[in-house]
Amino acid sequence: MHYPRVLITGNSSGLGLSLTGKLLEHGSEVYGLSRRGCPLTHEGLHDIHCDLADRHAIQPALDKLLADVSSLDLVVLNAGTLGKIQALHETPLESLDEIMQINVWANKTLIDSLITRSIHCRQIVLISSGAGVRGNAGWGGYALSKAALNMLTQLYAHELPETQINALAPGLMDTAMQDYLCGEADSGQFPSLQRLKAARGTDNMPDADGAAGILLSRFPDLLQEPTGSFRDIRTWPQP
């Protein structure tokens, strides 16, 4: 499917960068947002630096980025942060606040800005995680934020009747996030990390380019799913 105009958050690395590269190759105009900026150079790329942890920076950045845009064919709210894998009772509220700001409230601000600017969006995909459903030990702030993201998606579906909006868990991807999960994080104390270590380097954990290819091929299928719903790429059957 061709997407003439796409907005992607978190396009400086990992999944967001790979999606950006593939969409540019297919002729999309890509509007991107991250702290570091997208490393690609392409005439179809419009990129802005923005820290989603700074709630007051988001709307001005989006206003500038989308100044000439009246509609978007695809929005991928992909930017996300993991936080530390640790017991919830040892996790300070300040850490949870920051994760929630980046993974949930920033996406609310972005969607609200699109509504306020009357930018019609055909499809919005919020990148979620199986962690938001599993509730494994140690995944505290991240799991809470992705569970909230799934509900945010469901709630916005009521307010965006002309947009297909879904939360999608992309499955394991060998990106910077896995460097910490498969390295520094304590797999003795938090056994779910052992599954990630075993998957790394196998087909069960594609690299970002591989994952981006799979996701792009499935975005059109989301249009057949109930708007507001959550799907996990690993358990969602092909139509």
Residue 115 CB, shortest distance to ligand NAP, in Å, is 21
Least distance (Å) from ligand NAP to the CB of residue 172?
Answer: 4
Between CA 53 and CA 142 the distance in angstroms is 15
Which residues of the shown chain bind ligand NAP in the complex (CB under 6 A)? 10-16, 34-36, 50-53, 78-81, 102, 127, 129, 169-170, 172-173, 175-178, 208
Residues 163, 123 contacting (CB under 8 angstroms):
yes
Min dist CB 62 to ligand NAP, Å, is: 12
Name the residue whose CB lies closest to ligand NAP: 14
What is the number of alpha carbons within 13 Å of residue 145 lying toward its C-beta?
A: 27
Give me the least distance between CB of 166 and ligand NAP, in Å please: 14
Q: Reading across the β-sheet that carries 5-9, which strands appear in turn?
A: 45-49, 29-34, 5-9, 74-77, 123-127, 164-169, 230-232
Distance CA 10, CA 90 (A): 28
Exposure on the CB side of residue 17, measured as CA atoms within 13 A: 17
